[in-house]
Every structure is written in structure tokens, then in C-alpha cells.
Amino acid sequence: MTADDVNPPPVVAPVRASAPRLTAWRFVMAFGTVSLLMDFVYEGARSVTGPLLAHLGASALVVGVVTGVGEAAALGLRLVSGPLADRTRRFWAWTVAGYALTAVTVPVLGLAGALWAACALVIAERVGKAVRSPAKDTLLSHATAATGRGRGFAVHEALDQVGAVLGPLTVAGILALSGNGYGPALGLLALPGAVALALLVRLRARVPDPVAYEAAAGPVPVSVAPEQRIRVRLPRAFWVYAGFTGATMVGFATFGVLSYHLVRHHLLPTAAVPVLYAAAMAVDALAALATGWLYDRWGARVLAALPVLSAVVPVLAFTDAVWPAVLGALLWGAALGIQESTLRATVADLVPAGRRATAYGLFASAMGVATLAGGALTGALYEVSVPALITTVAAVQTAALVLLLALRVPRA
């Protein structure tokens, strides 16, 4: 099944995009550098979210719900930001605003002295991701039409994860030197955030309209007339795909719950948790590169690895032995790498460019609802029965595999 089998091709408006001053690969690399710096900021903070909230008096259920709500906000609010980005076509403005919100909230989180304030800041940081992501992914999707969808998104994600490794390691080092000093650790993250915003503004000046990359890559609709953007229907395959992704997320534990388990059961000291998180981010990068390359060769079949990994993670991560728990956290990173790269690449292959930000928003909202359910579910079942948690996750991931079998993805 192709997108044209579901709805006829949209009327395409003439493309009036100025020629970019960077090649498609250089654009992907430059955008990846911005993401590297911003991942340094917010992944550094996320690596200690569980222990930080526990330090302020949170239970496992509170950690699960707050991190679940945060991820739900990061994903679900794209239901609003995605269509707005498509309507306004101001993709750069949405991207800059979202990154700015994250750059401000993370350093302030280190100063929070009350649990409610810390919870609000954790969620606010995730709102910044909701503001920027549909627009950012749309900008990248234009360039990946020239580089290869899987490879382009995978390289961007791999650069992301360099920052996701450096940020937690930096936080771990400061915590080791200052005891439980979350303030200095998170305050230092203001510097890479400021540099990232400066680089992003420069990139916008050099490539004001990345749609030119896709226009030059092949005969695909790149600009839908404004009065038709809302009427162009999203293909049926997109909705099946959103259902598959949502099912995988319902059974996917947050790192907040994983790290809570590690600290509560004295498997790792608090300062070592960010180091493990950094290792998981390195695995994330490797998994993104591998599955991105395989996606361009074999298509959506490679996504079967995601529900399998998601089912195995709780089996290992919630044991009372150090090394199985560490391996579970690393496999969690591998699953995250697939989520952050190949899942996004597939959306670009399913949806025409004129509705792509809307599609990314709808897709992320499905993930958001599922993530909220998954965060609360794993947190609640963890308190009641780990075997029940493992069994429930296995059942949900089996359902996800069934949905994947019904999916047909057109190749770009």
C-alpha cells in the first residue's frame, strides 16, 4: 500500500525555496551539533531526575507519574504544536523557542528546594521538547530526503547521543566532587545551552528554507497549497503505525523508575547512576546508526526489534543483582535509540511533506498518552509485584508485534 492508495496526491504549490548554503549532509551534521549541545543539557538533568525527586521525598509511584507526565507532555502537546507549525510554516521559530525553554528550565531545576517545584520544572523542560520537535523533525525530514531517511535521522540521533553521554558524565563528576550537590551540577549546564542557541540562530541564517533539499531530491510533493493543508488526509498506514508505536511505549519503563530501583536497592551509588545513563546513551547512538542503515535497506521490518527489547528490559533491570540490572539499562538505551531515530524516519516516508509537522504531532501525541500510561503502570506495578510488571509488559509488546505485521510502509 502506498500513500496515494489512501488519498489522491495533493495539489502542489510551486516551491520558492532559496538555495541552501550547506549540503544536505552538512545541514544534518550542523543540526546534530545543536542537538548534541542541548542533549548535554537536558539528558544531564534527566540522568538524575529519579534520584533528585527521591532526595526531595518522592516515592516510586510519584517518580513514575512525574516522569510519565513529563514524557506525555513532551509528546502529547505536539498535537498542538505540530498543526500550528504546519499552518504558520515558521518551523525555525518553533524550534528556537522550544530549545530556549529547555535551556532555561534545567539550570533552575538544580535550585528547586521543594518537591512540587522540582516536579513542575521536570515537566516544563519536557514542554520545551514538545514545542520544538514537530518543527525540528520537519526541517530534518527535508534534508534526509537527499541523504536517505534512515541514515540521516540515525546520524542526527548519534550526534544527539554524544551530548547525552557527555551531559550525564559531567553531572556525575560534579556530584562525586560535591556530594549531593544538584545545584552546581545542573547550573553548569546553562553554558552548553547558550552555545546551542547561538549555533541554531546561525544555522537558520544559512539555511532559511530546508524544503529546497527535498525539492531537489525527487518528484515528491513538497509544498501543499495553504487552503488544502487541513483537508489532505493522513494515510491509513500512518494510523496503524501510530498504534504500533503507542503499544510499544505502554510497556516501556522510564529511566526514572529504573534509576529509582538501582538507588533504592543499593545496587549503585547515586553518583554512578548518571554514568550508567551515559553508557545507555552510547548504546542508543549505536542502535540508531545500525537500525537506520538497516531501515534504508530492509524497510520497516527492522522495527520488530523494538517490542522485543522493550519486553526484555524489565526482566533484567528490576532484578536485585547489579550486572543484570545494568544490562537491562543498556538494552533500555538500545530501544530508545530505535524510538528516537528509525521511528521518526518512518513517519517521513508515510506522510507527504505538506502535512508532516501535523503527522509528527499526532504521532507524538499517541506516544505521549502511551508513555503516561507506561510510566504510571510500571511505577505502580513495581510497588506491587515485579513479576506482574514483567508479565504485563510482555503481553503489551506481543500486541505491538501483531500491529507491526499489519503495517505496510511505502519507500521514499
**What pLDDT digit, counting tens, does each position of 214-228 carry?**
776 555 444 444 444
- Residue 3 has what pLDDT? 37
| CA-closest candidate to residue 160, choices 182, 129, 198, 184 | 129
pLDDT-derived band of residue 331, with 50, 70 and 90 as boundaries? very high
Alpha-carbon gap, residue 86 to 226, rounded angstroms:
9
Q: Would you say residue 164 lies in a domain?
A: yes
Counts of helices then strands in the chain (DSSP H, E): 19, 0
- Residue 64 has what pLDDT? 77
Burial class for 4, CB neighbours closer than 10 Å (0-12, 13-18, 19+): exposed
Alpha-carbon gap, residue 18 to 210, rounded angstroms:
9
Residues 6+ positions from 391 with CB-CB distance below 8 Å: none
Q: How many domains does the chain have?
A: 1
pLDDT at 335 over 60: yes
Q: Would you say residue 224 lies in a domain?
A: no
Q: Would you say residue 316 lies in a domain?
A: yes
**pTM of the prediction?**
0.73
Burial class for 18, CB neighbours closer than 10 Å (0-12, 13-18, 19+): exposed
Alpha-carbon gap, residue 380 to 21, rounded angstroms:
52
Q: Which three cell numbers stand for residue 290?
A: 545500525
CATH code (residue 107): 1.20.1250.20
| CA-closest candidate to residue 336, choices 286, 284, 259, 292 | 284
More reliable by pLDDT, 228 or 328: 328
How many Cα atoms within 13 Å fall on the side-chain side of residue 204? 16
Helix (H) or strand (E) holding 123: helix 115-147
Q: Would you say residue 412 lies in a domain?
A: no
Q: Would you say residue 11 lies in a domain?
A: no
Q: What is the mean pLDDT of residues 229-245?
A: 76
Q: Would you say residue 175 lies in a domain?
A: yes
State the CB neighbour count (10 A cutoff) for residue 265: 14
- Residue 6 has what pLDDT? 38
More reliable by pLDDT, 57 or 218: 57
Distance (Å) of CA 29 to CA 22, 96, 151, 193, 211: 10, 17, 12, 18, 17
Structural contact between residues 61 and 380, judged by C-beta atoms closer than 8 angstroms = yes
Q: Would you say residue 139 lies in a domain?
A: yes
Helix ranges (H only) for 255-317 are: 255-264, 273-298, 305-317
Q: Which amino acid, one-letter code, is at 237?
A: A
pLDDT at 113 over 80: no
Q: What is the mean pLDDT of residues 207-212?
A: 86
Q: Would you say residue 6 lies in a domain?
A: no
Q: Which three cell numbers stand for residue 225?
A: 497549497
pLDDT-derived band of residue 179, with 50, 70 and 90 as boundaries? low
Furthest C-alpha separation in the chain: 62
- Residue 222 has what pLDDT? 44
Helix ranges (H only) for 207-272 are: 211-217, 236-250, 255-264
Structural contact between residues 304 and 409, judged by C-beta atoms closer than 8 angstroms = no
Cα 404 → chain centroid: 20
Domain that holds residue 153: 20-208+234-405
pLDDT-derived band of residue 340, with 50, 70 and 90 as boundaries? confident
pLDDT-derived band of residue 1, with 50, 70 and 90 as boundaries? very low
Structural contact between residues 186 and 44, judged by C-beta atoms closer than 8 angstroms = yes
